[in-house]
Structure 1
Amino acid sequence: MSGRDDGRSRARRNALLRILLWPKRRRLAAATALALVENLCGLVSPLLIAAAIDRGVPSASDGRWMPLLGFTSAALAAGLTTATVKYCFLRYSGSIAQDLLFELRHRAFAHVMGQPLAFHESYPSGRVVARLSSDVESVEEMLEMGLDGLFSALFSMVGILTVMLWLDQPMAAVVVALFVPLYALTRWFRHRSRQAYRRTRTAVEGVVQHTVEAYNGIRAVQAFRREETNAQRLREIDTSYAAARADAGRVSAAFSGGVKLIGNLSLVGLLTLGVYRIDQGRLELGTLTAFLLYVHRLYDPIDELASFANAFSAASAGLEKIGALFVRHPTVAEPENPVALPPAGGGRAGTGAVRFEGVHFRYGEQSRPVLSGVDLTLEPGRTVALVGTTGAGKSTIAKLLARLYDPTTGRVTLDGVELRDLSDAELHSSVSMITQESFLFSGSVAQNIALGRPDASRAEIRSAAEAVGADGFISALPDGYDTDVHKRGTGLSAGQRQLIAMARVMLTSPRVVILDEATSSMDTPSERAVHEALTRVLAGRTAVIIAHRLSTVAIADRVLVIEDGAVVEDGPPEELREAGGRFADMHQGWLAATSA
């Protein structure tokens, strides 16, 4: 990673941390205060032990036990207070950590869900899953140990060094001198661990992405006997992940071992110097004991800091990856000052007028134009079929009308209001799309019908299903409307899934309905049932149908023949058949295919 990219990654990480931590600054300050009290109580114990040795024991030898009992009682009280405050700190800091994780996970998920279709088509789903799972888990591991380890370690180190300098400066100088190699070791560790954990996060992203793609495409994998090939590919990716993890482990082990070595050298140096100073009469035995206890306590927090630094390196790499999600700006942004659609009135009569005005579109700056100067007026309450060869621009027109994309130039309006000026909520309630394979989520049939209106009553849900003729098969399911459809609705036929999708549309009652060849994968009986439902759903609504079948075109009032991103024929289907143009040729082809 270049220096510029490294700086950008750190900036994204720091910006995300500020967003997460700033609202919780008061709670973090309270946790910091608890950690400070805990460490102050912990600092008192060695001093009380030193006083007990140097003053209490000699007094007890003379028959005066009260000083020794006083020092030991105070040490016991300090220990109990430390334990109590630590318990309160862990409970409180733990709740802060869980709140941070909750907000991070939901911020990232909500941001991804709010991205336009262009984002999801260019950003692999496996990578998103890795961001929301393994990268968030790395942050969770840091937070589980971080607040306690970080606050306690920092306060312990500062407090212990301060007390050491107060007790005996020559002895404290030995400890401070050994901080020079410790600082150099820490700098080396930060640099190497950051590199190692970046490789780890990238490698685990590859594992998750390959797993998700293989699982989503399991039918193709099994149909083409790709099981072993996919397994071999996973082994190759996982080998890179294992190597990256091993490298991170070696760096962490070297740092922890180096800290232990420096700590042991400190003990040897202090013990040697302490014995010499006691022999010279410049130091008391209790003070040496206190120093040895403090050094032991000093390197415990340093070891905790080592563990925290290791976890922070992993979490930092994860936060950089998560932060990259937030860098992408939406290509379809919600307006700052939304404009409301004119009231429907009269049962929505006269609503649903759509206009394409000089619309040009391309999917990327370097890609070829898909639409070139499209001008269209779709009358309210009429059904329009879009026909043409693959890649002609039919689906693009539908996506622009649903505002999955915005035109490169030109504009699309609904009832006189440009789609860019509509709030997401009003747009989604006014324009509904039914695709070739209507996606059903795990959950009940009723929940899937109410997808666009979660607040709908059971009576409204049932009424929508009855309107499209779906009530019969739904009522026959094991639990009726409460039947779990499972993943993608695999327990239902294609026709049944489409009827549920149409019940969704009936429930939301949009002004415009877009159908992306909703019957292309059905048998004849299912197609007939869906077409009957369509006549009810489309009644009184503007409808745009991407058609590849003669039966679908037959229900249209108007046909648009799209070729190379432009409308080349436009009119009622009967007129276009008689005109002998491109649509007439398509019609003859359909007739030949159905009669064969």
Structure 2
Amino acid sequence: MHFHGPGLDTGDLSLKDVQFKHMGRLKEFVKPYAGYLILAMCLVVAITVLGLIGPLLTRQALDIYIPAHDWDGLNRIILVYVLIQASIAVLRYSQTYIMSWTGQRILFLMRRRMFVHLQDLGLDFYDRMQAGRIMSRLTSDIDALNELITGGVINLLSDVLSLVGIMYIMLRVNYRLALVSFITLPLLFVTVWSLRFRMTRAYHKVRRRIADVNANLQESISGMRIVQAFSREDVNMDRFSETNMRNFQANMEAQTLHALFFPLVEVIGAIGTATVVYYGGLRMSWGDAAITVGTLWAFLQYVTRFFWPVRELSEIYNLILQGAVSAERVFEVLDWEPNVKDRPGAIWLSDVAGRVEFKNVTFEYQKDLPVLHDVNLEARPGETIALVGPTGAGKSTIISLLCRFYDVTSGAVLIDGVDIRDIAIASLRKHMGIVLQDTFIFSGTIMENIRYGKLDATDEEVKEAARLVGADEFISRMPDGYQTQVGERGSRLSVGQRQLLAFARALLADPRILILDEATSSVDSYTELLIQKALERLLKGRTSFVIAHRLSTIRNADRIYVIDGGRVVQTGTHEELLAQGGLYKDLYEKQFSGNPLGNAAAR
């Protein structure tokens, strides 16, 4: 499947595709609850049929019982009318309850399906799709689909039955009067058709604009520390106001067309009513016995009711437009194939020795723009491998390939001699622990965040992992210890404290392969000393990959690979590389010569 542009939001699709392309696919969500929907439809049929009886009872009362002063007959008519209205009320309550329950179940099913799919998608999807746009599809677009399924379909059935029933009754009662009342139908159809395409465009634009607003909000809120640190509040406010204004304008365009439709239908309905009154009154003045006061009154009720479902059908049409656009946007995400997935027959590794090999690995994020070129490296079981190089050299990309966040373009990554593409992804990552520079801490307690590395770990195991990395010292000073709430993204913790929790989380999983991607870059010297002492014990017996901009932290690595421009340019121990000269020695000397650019150059 192909998408246009990095955000997956394409505003220039054909209107025909927008309306109908994905609508039929909604049946997979509706099918489990088809029985409830059928029951609700049966109730709607009963409600509609009973609702059409009222004017006929009124006609009978006016033409038969009142002129004849038959009060018993009139009382019977009134009793039947009241019983019908009471039955309609009970049936409508039952239908509304069933549809509300069914709608919530379908909503739950759709959101769960999309969330599960989002968990399976690779990082290439998230590289191209803003979080706010994803949230928009997961919330407002699915809400629109649910409203279409639970409200639009049922109301469509009710309105169509009402129209057909009204037309049938009118033709049976007096076909001449009925044909006169239908004179306005061509004008009504022309009105609906003329607004149809403009409303489709308008609702498609509304969906894109609200996604822009969500994306802007998500980015601004997530980056609030940076916004305030650089006093960018006014700039961000201007950007949001511009995005919000575009959303306002798109909604006003849609609502203007929507608002225009109802007065036009009202005017057409008034013309129909006036025509019936004029023609019916004229025929009565001519002595036409087929048109009585009761008949004319019933016709006026039916004509009025005839335009009720027409107005509601316009609402349903709006739901269909919004639902069709939302279906397109939701299924675009659901149709996105994960760039990394298990091959048929993928194996499960019960045990891993920890031998890692990169063989002639080339990788490109974008076609024909490689970021790694023919990379070869090896880590024997229990070795510590360091990756060093300038910013953008490809170090983190190597780690991403090892974790199989992406698949290599050519070549192979092997673990214990097995191509990782032949290993089940869950099995592969079960044997890995990773700590990134940009540590992510979840809302919840410290205990819950550390246990994320091993969900069945006991409290004592969690505390032991924290002690091993030196986190227990600051945790014990927290108000509630391990039960302290850390806030969203760990907002109540310092950067260094978040890093220590990430270390404890990774180590609790007891991985055979440990990955540290500039994991000590955000801790102070004292904390780094604690971590270094813990790492001496923790790295022992594990294959480890370390990316560090502080070259002092990798002096004891078994082997250092120097990466530059996506290529391995040097290999050796710390002492060997200093003796060789070249890029590593340059980076080392810059970092320890007091040059302020040293740290940056070593990243």
**Counterpart check, 1:198 vs 2:204:** yes
Match of 1:353 in 2: 355
Q: Distance in 1 between matches of 2:48 and 2:309?
A: 11
Q: Distance in 1 between matches of 2:61 and 2:565?
A: 94
Q: Distance in 2 between matches of 1:586 and 1:229?
A: 38
Q: Distance in 2 between matches of 1:555 and 1:175?
A: 93
Aligned residues of 1:495 and 1:527 also touching (Cα < 8 A): no
Q: Which residue, out of 49, 57, 63, partners 2:58?
A: 49
TM-score between both structures, scaled by the size of structure 2: 0.91
Query: Per the alignment, in what secondary structure is the counterpart of residue 546 of structure 2?
Result: strand
Q: Which residue, out of 22, 28, 35, partners 2:44?
A: 35
**Counterpart check, 1:310 vs 2:311:** no
Distance 1:337 1:67, change over 3 A: farther
How many angstroms does 1:8 deviate by?
4.3
Q: Which residue, out of 282, 299, 310, partners 1:291?
A: 299
How many angstroms does 1:256 deviate by?
0.8
Q: Distance in 1 between matches of 2:315 and 2:23?
A: 21
Match of 2:215 in 1: 209
Aligned residues of 1:505 and 1:537 also touching (Cα < 8 A): no
Q: Distance in 2 between matches of 1:317 and 1:437?
A: 36
Query: Per the alignment, in what secondary structure is the counterpart of residue 362 of structure 1?
Result: strand
Match of 1:158 in 2: 164
Following superposition of structure 1 onto structure 2, how do residues 315-464 of structure 1 map, counting pairs within 5 Å? 315-341=323-349, 343-344=350-351, 351-367=353-369, 369-464=370-465
How many angstroms does 1:124 deviate by?
1.9
How many angstroms does 1:300 deviate by?
1.7
Match of 1:275 in 2: 281
Unaligned runs of 5+ in 2: 1-9, 599-603
Residue correspondences, number: 586
Q: What do the CA deviations read for 1:327-347 (whole angstroms, capped 9, x no partner)?
A: 432211233432111x32xxx
How many angstroms does 1:111 deviate by?
2.6
How many angstroms does 1:554 deviate by?
2.2
**Once structures 1 and 2 are overlaid, which stretch shifts more, 513-522 or 48-57?**
48-57
Q: Distance in 2 between matches of 1:487 and 1:268?
A: 64
Aligned residues of 1:402 and 1:432 also touching (Cα < 8 A): no
Q: Distance in 1 between matches of 2:331 and 2:72?
A: 61
**Once structures 1 and 2 are overlaid, which stretch shifts more, 330-339 or 524-533?**
330-339
RMSD of aligned residue pairs (Cα, Å): 2.5
How many angstroms does 1:86 deviate by?
0.4
Distance 1:180 1:536, change over 3 A: farther
Q: What code does the residue aligned with 1:572 have? A: T
TM-score between both structures, scaled by the size of structure 1: 0.92
Match of 2:527 in 1: 526
Q: Distance in 2 between matches of 1:463 and 1:7?
A: 61
Match of 1:81 in 2: 87
Distance 1:338 1:432, change over 3 A: same
How many angstroms does 1:162 deviate by?
1.9
Q: Which residue, out of 225, 235, 247, partners 1:229?
A: 235
Q: Distance in 1 between matches of 2:238 and 2:261?
A: 35
Query: Per the alignment, in what secondary structure is the counterpart of residue 341 of structure 2?
Result: coil
How many angstroms does 1:115 deviate by?
1.8
Q: Distance in 2 between matches of 1:226 and 1:361?
A: 37
**Once structures 1 and 2 are overlaid, which stretch shifts more, 137-146 or 486-495?**
137-146
How many angstroms does 1:526 deviate by?
1.5
**Counterpart check, 1:19 vs 2:21:** no
Distance 1:333 1:527, change over 3 A: same
Aligned residues of 2:40 and 2:99 also touching (Cα < 8 A): yes
Q: Distance in 2 between matches of 1:11 and 1:459?
A: 57
How many angstroms does 1:510 deviate by?
1.8
Distance 1:175 1:429, change over 3 A: farther
**Counterpart check, 1:112 vs 2:118:** yes
Q: What do the CA deviations read for 1:171-213 (whole angstroms, capped 9, x no partner)?
A: 2223333222222222223211111111222222222222222
Q: Distance in 2 between matches of 1:332 and 1:372?
A: 21
Distance 1:194 1:202, change over 3 A: same
Aligned residues of 1:39 and 1:155 also touching (Cα < 8 A): yes
**Once structures 1 and 2 are overlaid, which stretch shifts more, 479-488 or 279-288?**
279-288
Query: Per the alignment, in what secondary structure is the counterpart of residue 48 of structure 2?
Result: helix
Q: What code does the residue aligned with 1:120 have? A: Y
Query: Per the alignment, in what secondary structure is the counterpart of residue 361 of structure 2?
Result: strand
**Aligned sequence identity (%):** 36
Distance 1:175 1:422, change over 3 A: farther
Query: Per the alignment, in what secondary structure is the counterpart of residue 366 of structure 2?
Result: coil
Distance 1:464 1:178, change over 3 A: same
Query: Per the alignment, in what secondary structure is the counterpart of residue 262 of structure 2?
Result: helix
